[in-house]
Structure 1
Amino acid sequence: MPSTRRPNYRTGTRRPPSARGDSAPSDVISASKDGSPTGATAVPAAGTKPESPTARDNVLSFPEPKARRRRRISQGIIGSLAVLVAAIIAAAVYSPVLALQTVTVQGTKLLTADQVRAALAPLQGKPLPQISDGDVTALLQPLVQVKHVTTQARPPSTLQVTVTERVPVALVRQGNAHQLVDADGVLLSDAADPASTLLPVIDGGGGTLPQDLFHAITEVLGALPADVLARLSNASAKSVDAVELKLVDGQTIVWGNAGEKELKAKVLAALLKAPADPKNPVRIYDVSVPRHPVTR
C-alpha cells in the first residue's frame, strides 16, 4: 500500500544581506541623477504627456547620398556657367567695342570697292555680331553687278565683304550704245570701249530685242568656255530654236536651241581645236545635233 506519510522539507532561515556580507541582490533598483530609476523604463506620471521624440537630442541625421550630392553640385555649376555665357553673349552683341568702323572689299572688277563701301554705309557703328549676310545683301541689291556676297567679321571693328560679280557674256548694241550683259540677260554696265572688249555683240538693231530671243542667246553664250567666247564676234537668233554665232575669222556656228548646251559647248571646243585644212577651210560648224556634228 502506498504510504500516506507526507514528506517534510526543511526551510532555511534567510539571512539579511548585511549579515552574510553579500552584495545587494540584482532586483534592487537604484536611482539615476535625474531621479529616474536605472535599468527600468520610466513611466510618465498620471496626467502628463509622454516626451516627444523630436525633442530629444539623440535623433540621428543620415548623410546625403553621394549621387544626389554630385547631381546637386553639377546642376549648380551648369547653372552658373549658363548665366556666365549668357552675360558674355549679351556683352558681345550689344557692346560698342565691337561697333563696325572699317569695311574691306574683295572680288570686284565691274564695281569699285568704294561703291560697295558707300552702299554699306548704314551699317557703320552697328555691332559686328548683329550684322548678317542678309543685311549686306539687301544693301547691295541696287548694285546689279553683285550676284552673291559673303561676309566675315574681324573683331574688334572690321567687316570683310567678298563679292561674287555677274560675269558678262556679251555686248548688246542699241544704236551707238553698247552694254554688258550676263548669261541671265542682266544689263551690267555701259561699255566705254566696245572695240577692246573680247565679247560677242548682240545686235538689237534700232529697237529692243524680244525677251525670249535675248535670253536664248545669252543662255547659249553663258555655256561657252572663256577661250571660245573670246573668239566670237557676234550672236543672233531668228527664233529660240535658231541661235547662230559668228567667229572673228568669219565662220558661222549653227547652234540651234539652248538644249544640251553643255554638250554642244564641248563639241564646238573640240572642233575649233582640230587642225585646219587649207585646201578645205571650214565655213560652218553645225552643232545643233551635238552627237552628230557637221562641218562644211
Structure 2
Amino acid sequence: MADGSPGTGAYGDEEEAEEYAPRLRLSRRGFTVLGVLIAAVLGALSWLVFFSSVLDVRSVSVQGVRDDRLTADQVRQVLGNLGDGPLARVDLADARRRVESIPRVASAEVWRGWPHTLQVKVVQRKPVAAVKGDDGQFTQMDAGGVSFATEATAPAGVPVVELQLSQQANDAIGVITRQQLVQGAVAVAAGLPPAVAERAGAVTVHSYDDIRLQLGGGTTVRWGSPERTDRKAKVLTALLNRKATNYDVSVPEAPAVSG
C-alpha cells in the first residue's frame, strides 16, 4: 500500500494545483475599459444599422396584386419616402396603414427582408356585386359590403344590383333605407355558389323580402329576403338540375319550380 494520508496522491495534487492556479481578476479600471469597448461596439453596430447607408432600403417587393387595377407601382407610390433610408428605421405599422388606405386593398402585411428589401403582401378586394347608380355608373362591392371602385361598366362575371322598389318598399324607406336594401342584395350575391354567380346577370331588389336573381336565358330566381342565404344557395344549386324558367327558394323548406 502506498504511503501517505487521505487527500494525498494524484487527487490531492489536483486540489493543490487548483488552489494555487492564477485567477483572472479585473481591476476597476479594467472593468471600465471593457465597458467602454462594449459600448463602442454597440454604438458602432447601432450606427451601422440605424443611421448609415450600408443597410438602406434598395427595393420594395410587392406580392398579391392580381390585375392591372392594382399595381405594384401604386403600392410603392403610396409608401412614399418610407421606402428611403435605413431598413431598420422603417415604421412598419405606418407602412401597413398607408397600403391599406388604397381602396382596392383589403389588408396588408409589411416586414423587413434583410439586408435591403421592404416586403409588402396585399390581399386585394374581390367584387361580388356591382351596384348600378342613378348616374349609370357601377360601384363594386366586396363580400364585406365595402365599396371600393366605381366604373362605367360592371366587371365580367359579377352580378349587377339594381333597385326597382315597389311602392310599399318606397313608403318604408324610413324604416329600411336604400343602403340597407343594397347591403342585403350584396349579401345575397356574396353567398351565391361560383357557378350560380357567373350566371347571375342581375340581383333585382323590389323590397327587403322580394329579391330576385336574373340568370342567363331569361331564368328568374325568387330569393325573398337576404336571410338564410347559405341554405337558399344549397337548395337552388340542387334545383338547377331541373330545367325550368322560374325557381323559388324564398322559403327553402318548400321550394318551387315552374316554366
After TM superposition, the score normalised by the length of structure 1 is: 0.61
Residue of 91, 97, 102 corresponding to 2:54: 97
Give the equivalent residue in structure 2 for 1:181.
141
* Matched-pair contact (CA < 8 Å) for 1:132–1:151: no
Whether 1:111 aligns to 2:70 is yes
CA distance in 2, matches of 1:159, 1:294: 56
Give the equivalent residue in structure 2 for 1:226.
194
Residues 31-87 of structure 1: CA deviation (Å, up to 9, x unaligned):
xxxxxxxxxxxxxxxxxxxxxxxxxxxxxxxx6xxxxxxxxxxxxxxxx9x989977
Give the equivalent residue in structure 2 for 1:157.
116
CA distance in 1, matches of 2:41, 2:237: 59
Indicate the SS of the match to 1:168. coil
TM-superposed CA distance for 1:212, in Å, is: 0.6
Higher alpha-carbon Rg: 1
Structure 1 residues 283 and 159, CA gap change in structure 2 (3 angstroms): same
Indicate the SS of the match to 1:97. coil
Structure 1 stretch displaced more, 108-117 or 183-192: 183-192
Give the equivalent residue in structure 2 for 1:57.
none
Residues 224-266 of structure 1: CA deviation (Å, up to 9, x unaligned):
2222111011112223232221112211112222222222222
CA distance in 2, matches of 1:190, 1:197: 14
Give the equivalent residue in structure 2 for 1:295.
257
Residues 174-220 of structure 1: CA deviation (Å, up to 9, x unaligned):
233223222333332233544x7222212257xxx811101001111
* Matched-pair contact (CA < 8 Å) for 1:116–1:140: yes
Quick one: which amino acid aligns to residue 290 of structure 1?
P
- Percent sequence identity over aligned pairs: 33
Structure 2 gap segments, 5+ residues each: 1-18, 20-34, 165-176
* Matched-pair contact (CA < 8 Å) for 2:129–2:190: no
Residue of 207, 227, 246 corresponding to 1:284: 246
* Matched-pair contact (CA < 8 Å) for 1:100–1:124: yes
CA distance in 2, matches of 1:127, 1:146: 26
Q: Which has the higher contact order (CA 8 A, sep 6+)?
A: 2
Aligned Cα root-mean-square deviation (Å):
3.3
Indicate the SS of the match to 1:222. helix
CA distance in 2, matches of 1:143, 1:235: 28
What are the within-5 Å matches in structure 2 for residues 30-179 of structure 1? 90=46, 92-93=49-50, 96-108=53-65, 109=67, 110-131=69-90, 133-174=92-133, 175-179=135-139
Structure 1 residues 295 and 156, CA gap change in structure 2 (3 angstroms): same
CA distance in 2, matches of 1:259, 1:100: 50
* Matched-pair contact (CA < 8 Å) for 2:57–2:118: yes
Equivalent pairs, count: 212
TM-superposed CA distance for 1:122, in Å, is: 2.5
Q: Which structure features the higher share of helix residues?
A: 2
Whether 1:238 aligns to 2:200 is no
Once superposed, which parts of structure 1, at least 4 consecutive aligned residues long, lie more than 4 Å away?
82-91
Indicate the SS of the match to 1:189. strand
TM-superposed CA distance for 1:150, in Å, is: 1.3
Give the equivalent residue in structure 2 for 1:265.
233
